[in-house]
Structure 1
Amino acid sequence: MRKKVNNMTNFRKILSLVIVFIFCIINMNAQEVLTIENAVKIALENNYEIKISKNNLKIDQSNVSIGNAGILPILTANIVDTNSLQNSSQTLQNGNVNTLDNAKNNRISYGVNLDWTIFDGFRMFARLDQLKELEKLGDEQLKLTVTTRISDVISTYFDLVQQQQQLSALDTTIVISNQRLALAQNRFSIGKASKLEVLNAQVDLNADKTSVLRQKELYKNTKTLLNQILARDLKTDYKVVDNTEINKQLLLPELTSLAEKQNPQLVTQIINRKISELQLKQIRANRYPTIRLNSGYAFVNTESSLGFTSQTSARGLNYGFTATLNLFDGFNQSRNEKIAKIQIENSQLLIEQQKLSLNSQLETSYQTYLTNLELIDLEEKNETIAKQNLDITLEKFRIGTITTLEFRTAQLNYVNAKVRNSNAQFQAKLSEIALKELAGNITF
């Protein structure tokens, strides 16, 4: 009977463990695993700044039309109805006087008018070209926004990877500190260690737990920040892929060549110079005559209660043209042209300034990139050495041949080595991102 009870108890324990195991699997599957590619995709779809830039580009695209440039004619329809009540008096040539109180007069006219500028010194064509350049400017501004936001996503994502790795390192420290505390308590219980050794182990364990809590806080806050950049529910829980792949093949000449062709900030300055040149063309157009064609068809009907005629009406077509030429405007034309030329000169200076700044950033960022690559190799070796040292120190501590202080030093050296290795990989990734962003080539 007792055997059956024991079997039943064991069965219940096994069943409970199976249920807990299944529950853990369900929880693990419920948590989203966010890849860097998915993070970038979500940002491109949801980020508010990218959406606003896309809408601004749509506005610029809508503005590119021959009608907005002034090339097409303007056709208007109008109707005018005028009424009056007057006390009227008329004295005729023969001396007779006609009077009428509350004499009603009515005049109604309606029709359509056409106004078409057929020549304005080529201003309309320069305006159309300027609208096209403004569209290109909007496109580059969208690229700049997308590049900046993707850079933010990638940087924050790999910051989470680094923090996740550091959290794992601190968890490992907790395990080691627990082992150390258990060994100290066992040695104290058999009289081979003092109470001080147990207390020191407990203090160090508590310090490690504090570090873990701080790291968890930072990790959760960074996850919230990434959710904000992705413009989704801030409480969305997820895990990042614990892998930092670094492109170690970047070359400065190739990056410089790409930057000169597609860096959004540099391309923006080049487009601004073109816009300034087209603005000068529009100003110079004022030196030429402006010719407009005008035409219309109108109907006019007039009714009068007093006078020689009680009603008149007319309808028909009118047409003609207008030509104007600015002869003197107080030297404003020369002044405006001079200012436009200075703006073109400033645009060229901004291009040269941007090129110099871009090359400087590429040089410094590339040197940082090379340094970080060397640090990765160095810190990987340091972590391996620190792990071997910790394993040896732990065995010596078990048999009591080293002091608590020596063991704690080896433990901290290992944790610090893992943290430095993780940080070196993160810094190298940031350098890679910075270089690609400057080259206008940050894509996933």
Structure 2
Amino acid sequence: MKSINLKVVVISCFIFTNSLLSFGQDEFLSRSEAIALTLNNNYGIAIADNNVLVSENNADLLNSGYLPTVFGLAGMNYTVEDQRTDRDDGESFVLEGAQSESYNASVNLDYTLFDGLGRLYNFKRLKESYNLSKLEARETIENTMLQLFSVYFEVARLTENVEILEQTLEISKNRVKRAGYQFDYGQNTKLEVLNAEVDVTNDSINLMNTRQSLLNTKRDLNVVLARDLKLNFNVDTLVSFIPKLELESFLEMAKENNVRLLQSNSNIALSEYDIRISKAQFLPTVGLTGSYGWNESISPASAFFTGSTRQNTGFQGGLNLRWNLFDGGSSITQLKNAKILKDNQILLKQQIEIEVQRDIANALGNYENLIAVYNIQEQNVVTNKNNFERSRERFNLGQITSIEFRQAQINLINAETNKNLAKYEAKLAELQLLQQVGQLLNIQF
């Protein structure tokens, strides 16, 4: 299975619901589109996916040590030398510039028949390393998803705040007009007009600042999506929460799905393979060798023999055994250290289990608290809307001052913006809880 499938499986959960519009126009960026763009474009995810590909290549049969080694050899030697041979009868034979030549070529094979099962456990270790790399990639994707929605929800919050401030500014502008008419007809003083104009100025500045913050946050989101920073878009401001029963079922399976616990289990398995690989060094290694070769040698004439040419062609095979009876103690030390490292991984898992329990409890507590705050803020908006409408009626009838009306308006603005903040904080807390229970990538956004 290609590592890219890790992303494909996740992307399949999030289908594009709206096509992208041309450059320069505001597009509607749904959550599913944002997720798909992030999975496809984000640099951190791309790097994690490449790491998975490397681990997958390492865990392949070609890197297992189970296949033989086949290699070719070829060579030649050329010698020019002066030879002098003294015979028993007192005569000497001198040969100047005697030339000798030899050529060889062969195809060779080396294969390990048995290495104390070290090859087997090393191959299993590579497979487990591949599984660990997928878990690490999953953790990267989860963290990136939280980063994505943290920025996405901030864009949504600021978008709603802009709408609130636009409505507030429109009300303040109408108030300036009304105050101006009343002043023209002598129904109020210039002070009322000036107060209304000051409120318009403040509302305009607040709107301008919020719009600028919105533009900046949209650029932040484009960075996460790894796309053109100039692209403008609108986001989905509707938020729904997971039913309580479904969330409880996720909590029950948290221990089996939390990515940190799964990584700790994988690290313990790797430590166990390291121990077995170390033990394999105490057993013999049996190897098989074979070759098919050709040799040719050309010898010059000598005092007793004429020059000759000799050729050899044929197969050669052999079986060898190597057993390190004592290697200075390095194998024993390696085995002892491997056992200690496994103990460390077990202790680390116990620590992670406690930390995960704490993180889940904290995430659940934060989520429940923020949901309660959001519900309170919703009711607070209803109350402040009623208060504002009554204050506006009384202000129009001249029963309250502009200062009292403005206070009711500010209270409504604060209530609505606080509700928006509570809504997106609660949703982000829900996603953080889903990450802790290992379900962040398994839900529909």
**Aligned partners of 2:226 and 2:122: how far apart in 1?**
38
Letter in 1 for 2:315: L
How big is the shift at 1:295?
1.4
> Is the Cα–Cα contact under 8 Å of residues 248 and 373 in structure 1 kept in the other structure?
no
Aligned to 2:27: 32
Specify every segment of 5 or more residues in structure 2 that has no aligned partner in the other structure, as ranges.
1-20
1:140-219 equivalences under 5 Å are 140-219=135-214
Q: 1:122 to 1:94 in 2, by over 3 A?
A: farther
In structure 2, distance between residues paired with 1:92 and 1:223: 101
Distance across 1 between alignment mates of 2:356 and 2:246:
16
Amino acid at match of 2:286: I
Contact 1:255 1:435 in 2 (8 A): no
Counterpart for residue 400 of structure 1: 398
1:4 maps to what in 2?
none
Deviations 1:94-134 (A, max 9, x none): 54433344332221111111111111100011011111111
Shift in CA distance, 265/97, structure 1 to aligned 2, threshold 3 Å? farther
Q: CA deviation at 1:221?
A: 1.3
Deviates more, 1:82-91 or 1:312-321: 82-91
Q: Is this contact kept in 1: 2:183–2:190, CA < 8 A?
A: yes
In structure 2, C-alpha distance between the alignment counterparts of 1:326 and 1:257, rounded to whole Å:
51
Match of 1:10 in 2: none
Secondary structure, in 3 states, of the residue corresponding to 2:440?
coil
- Report the RMSD for the aligned CA atoms in angstroms: 2.1
Q: Under a length normalisation based on structure 1, what TM-score does the superposition of the two structures give?
A: 0.89
Deviations 1:262-309 (A, max 9, x none): 222221111111111101111111100111111112211112335445
Q: Distance in 1 between matches of 2:89 and 2:58?
A: 67
What secondary structure sits across from 2:326 in the alignment?
coil
Counterparts of 2:375 and 2:74, CA distance in 1: 84
Q: 2:377 aligned with 1:382, yes or no?
A: no
Alpha-carbon separation, structure 1, partners of 2:149 and 2:30: 10
Structure 2 counterpart of 1:397, which letter?
F
Question: Equivalents in 1 of 2:341, 2:90: separation in Å?
Answer: 74
Amino acid at match of 1:281: R
Query: Which of 233, 247, 256 is the matching residue for 1:238?
Result: 233
CA drift at 1:401: 2.1
SS at match of 1:203: helix
| Secondary structure, aligned partner of 2:294 | strand
Matched, 1:428 2:426: yes
Partner Cα separation in structure 2 for residue 86 and residue 57 of structure 1: 61
- 1:131 pairs, out of 117, 126, 140, with 126
How much identity, in percent, do the aligned residues show?
A: 29
Aligned pairs (5 A) from 1:320-339: 320-339=318-337
Q: Please state whether the residue corresponding to 1:287 is helix, strand or coil.
A: coil
Q: Take 1:368 and 1:75, find their aligned partners in 2: how far apart are those partners? A: 62
- What's the offset of the Cα at 1:404? 2.1
Q: CA deviation at 1:251?
A: 6.7
Distance 1:47 1:250 in 2: 34
Which letter maps to 1:275? L
Give a deviation string over 1:301-346, Cα, whole Å, max 9, x none: 1123354453222222222121111122222121111100011011
Residues 208 and 318 from structure 1, CA distance in 2 versus in 1: closer, same or farther, beyond 3 angstroms?
same
**2 CA distance for matches of 1:50 and 1:76?**
40
Moved more, 146-155 or 320-329: 146-155
Contact 1:256 1:359 in 2 (8 A): no
The question of whether the paired residues in 1 share the 8 Å contact of 2:128 and 2:266 is answered with: yes
- Is the 1:183–1:398 Cα contact (8 Å) retained in structure 2? no
**1:229 to 1:108, Cα distance in 2 relative to 1, 3 A:** same
How far apart in 2 are the matches of 1:372 and 1:183? Answer: 41
The answer to whether residue 105 in structure 2 is matched with residue 107 in structure 1 is: no
What is the distance in 1 between the residues matched to 2:437 and 2:84?
87
Residue type matched to 1:181 in 2? V
Matches within 5 A, 1:254-403: 254-307=249-302, 308=305, 309-403=307-401
CA distance in 2, matches of 1:306, 1:138: 68
Q: Which amino acid aligns with 1:350?
A: L
Q: Secondary structure at the match of 1:328?
A: coil
- How big is the shift at 1:59? 2.2
Partner Cα separation in structure 1 for residue 157 and residue 390 of structure 2: 27
Distance 1:194 1:422 in 2: 38
Match of 1:228 in 2: 223
Q: 1:405–1:248: structure 2 CA closer, same or farther, 3 Å change rule? A: farther
Q: What is the TM-score normalised by the length of structure 2?
A: 0.89
Q: Which residue of 2 aligns with 1:76?
A: 71
Q: Secondary structure at the match of 1:232?
A: coil
Classify 1:111/1:94 alpha carbon distance in 2 versus 1 (closer, same or farther; 3 Å).
farther
Q: Which moved more, 1:421-430 or 1:257-266?
A: 257-266
| Equivalent-residue separation in structure 1 for 2:99 and 2:245 (angstroms) | 89
**Amino acid aligned to 2:71:** T
Say whether the 8 Å CA contact 1:246–1:429 is kept in structure 2: yes
Instruction: Indicate how the Cα distance of structure 1 residues 96 and 349 shifts in structure 2: closer, same or farther if over 3 A, else same.
Output: farther
AA partner of residue 426 (structure 1): Y
- 1:376 and 1:137 map into 2 onto residues whose CA distance is 39
